[in-house]
Amino acid sequence: MKFISFLLTTETTGIFSFLDPIINFLEDLGHFGLALYTMIEVLLIIPPIEVIYYPLILLDVDHWYLYLINVIFFNVLASMLGYFVGKKIGYPVLRYFTNDEVLGKAQKLFDKYGILAVAIGAFTPIPYTIVVFLAGITKMDFKKFIIAGFVGRVPRYIVGGYFVMKVGQSETLNRYMLILSVIGMLVFVAYYILQGFYNLYKKKKMSE
């Protein structure tokens, strides 16, 4: 039975019925969708994996650890791939998706902290694509890069996933947490789209 039918059994949550297609779509995506998004999130600057990781946990709290394993495994796999992509074509790709100001800050972080910058970038909301590609661009030691990324990202996924799971065990809280997480996902997506258009606009103005 679709979780959304449970969501809409109260008047309070009925006003969010417009989220039906999105939540049902997430359910249909499942582990395959999470794995695919995890790979893409490392290789391209898109909203963080939590935008679908958390809703999926809320839809199946009893198996939250399987989503955790999924995210960790495919994140490491994508990090390996992203490192070598970064060595080859990293900088032009980053300039296309972001701006020089963001790249400058990330580069300073790398210059100052080295391997520690990877762990910091992996744990914080900084787009991980920038961290991965800069590691490749600067030819950072591959093993150290993978370990640092693992140390930074795994605690983030465990802590966040466990918290969402505990909240999701309460049916009442689960309803509203799911709604908030899906709305948050939409906000993130809208922000990244607008930011992308803004960056393109700035580059166009600078080239004139």
Please give the tally of structural domains in the chain. Answer: 1
Task: Report the SS3 class of residue 193.
Answer: helix
CB neighbour class for 108 (10 Å; exposed up to 12, middle 13-18, buried from 19): exposed
Give the range with max mean pLDDT: 117-126, 173-182, 189-198. Answer: 117-126
Name the least confident of 9-13, 55-59, 107-111, 174-178. 9-13
Full residue range of the structural domain in which residue 175 is found? 3-207
Residue 127: band (very low, low, confident or very high) from pLDDT cuts 50, 70, 90: confident
Q: Which residue has the higher pLDDT, 89 or 152?
A: 152
The predicted pLDDT at position 189 comes to: 67
Look at 143 and 87; give whichever has higher pLDDT: 143
pLDDT of residue 156: 92
Whole-number pLDDT of residue 8: 42
DSSP string, 82-101: HHHHHHHHHHHHHHHHS-HH
Q: Phi and psi at residue 99, in whole multiples of 5°?
A: -120, 170
